[in-house]
């Protein structure tokens, strides 16, 4: 587990590389979709953090309602707070989320609520990385070490960030969850497309003391780990579309590029 190539930055805590074992587990082949989340909301009446707060963070090129912009995010002016942006309206209140795309504008709290309803849970960070690697130890990506420029294997940014996306991979924002080839374990888009919440609290120092057996992260923290990068990743800004890459956000935060996938509570016998 960890960055074997020196690609990350120290503040992300991707090193040292360390051995980890995890018990067998069953994980979703895709991120949770808009259709999945819609069924949850229909069954429970759940309101997400974004809906309760009245706004969420939308990438500037994805805004559909410029008159609903409340302001820029500090330090990242390409992120705009948009009133009425939520899981069903990812660009603003006039937009509509496509059912086969990953659900976004969901916080860690929202993901936990979905898991409780579905009888599932968020993966640990170690489980997530094990699944994303697809059996390819120490490789950068789910398919190997190189990113072909003429054969797009994931949904990331092309062009000059943050103003011009050529959409060479066909997508400016999210792609349907089964776009591009799956890894050797059958998982789609573990890197790129959307960041995925995992269970663990974040600490950049945790890998130095992490246990070998089934690590579950620090006991306490201020932010939860997100993994996999998103459609906004670009080497000039954020090269976190890698198996080892990690970042974090506060549990009540929501943006247009964060989703999640789930793990079974236990593996059924037989």
Strand (E) or helix (H) holding 80: strand 76-83
Q: What secondary structure does DSSP assign to 163-230, as a single string? A: TEE--TTS-SS---TT-S---TTS---SSSSSEEEEEEEP-TTGGGT--SBS----S--SSEEEES--
Cβ-Cβ contacts under 8 Å for 211 (sequence gap 6 or more) = none
d(Cα 48, Cα 227) in Å, to the nearest integer? Answer: 21
d(Cα 28, Cα 17) in Å, to the nearest integer? Answer: 26
DSSP 78: E
Two structure tokens written together for 242: 């890698």
Quick one: pLDDT band at residue 255, thresholds 50, 70, 90? very high
Crossing angle of the two packed helices 108-118 and 34-44, in degrees rounded to 10: 70
Strand partners, 148: none
Backbone angles phi, psi at 62, to 5 degrees: -100, 0
Over residues 135-164, the mean pLDDT reads 93
Residue 270 confidence (pLDDT) above 50: no
Residue 269 confidence (pLDDT) above 50: no
- Note the pLDDT tens digit of each residue in 65-99: 999 999 999 899 999 999 999 999 999 999 999 99
- Note the pLDDT tens digit of each residue in 163-186: 999 999 999 999 999 999 999 999
pTM of structure: 0.96
Quick one: pLDDT band at residue 243, thresholds 50, 70, 90? very high
Do residues 65 and 93 make contact, with C-beta atoms less than 8 angstroms apart? Answer: yes
Delineate the domains of the chain, giving CATH numbers in brackets: 22-260 (3.90.1580.10)
Quick one: pLDDT band at residue 122, thresholds 50, 70, 90? very high
Backbone angles phi, psi at 73, to 5 degrees: -75, 135
Strand partners, 58: 80
Two structure tokens written together for 23: 């018990």
Two structure tokens written together for 215: 């690590």
């Amino acid at each position: 587990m960890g960055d074997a190539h020196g690609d990350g930055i120290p503040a992300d805590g991707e090193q040292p590389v360390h051995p980890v074992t995890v018990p067998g587990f069953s994980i979703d082949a895709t991120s949770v979709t808009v259709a999945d989340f819609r069924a949850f909301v229909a069954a429970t009446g759940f309101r997400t953090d974004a809906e309760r707060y009245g706004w969420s963070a939308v990438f500037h090129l994805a805004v559909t309602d410029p008159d609903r912009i409340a302001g820029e995010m500090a330090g990242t002016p390409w992120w705009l707070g948009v009133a009425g942006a939520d899981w069903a309206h990812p660009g603003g209140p006039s937009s509509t989320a496509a059912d086969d795309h990953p659900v976004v504008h969901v916080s860690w709290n929202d993901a936990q609520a979905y898991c409780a309803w579905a009888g599932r849970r968020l993966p640990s960070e170690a489980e997530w990385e094990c699944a994303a690697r697809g059996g390819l130890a120490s490789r950068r990506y789910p398919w190997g070490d190189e990113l072909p420029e003429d054969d797009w294997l994931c949904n990331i940014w092309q062009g000059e960030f943050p103003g011009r996306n050529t959409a060479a991979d066909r997508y400016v924002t999210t792609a349907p969850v089964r776009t591009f080839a799956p890894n050797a374990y059958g998982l789609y888009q573990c890197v790129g497309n959307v960041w995925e919440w995992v269970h663990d609290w974040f600490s950049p120092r945790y890998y130095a003391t992490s246990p070998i057996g089934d690590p579950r992260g620090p006991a306490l923290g201020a932010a939860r780990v997100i993994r996999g990068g998103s459609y906004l990743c670009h080497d000039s800004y954020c090269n976190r579309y890698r198996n080892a890459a990690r970042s974090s956000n506060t549990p009540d935060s929501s943006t247009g590029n964060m989703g999640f996938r789930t793990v079974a509570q236990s593996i059924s016998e037989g």
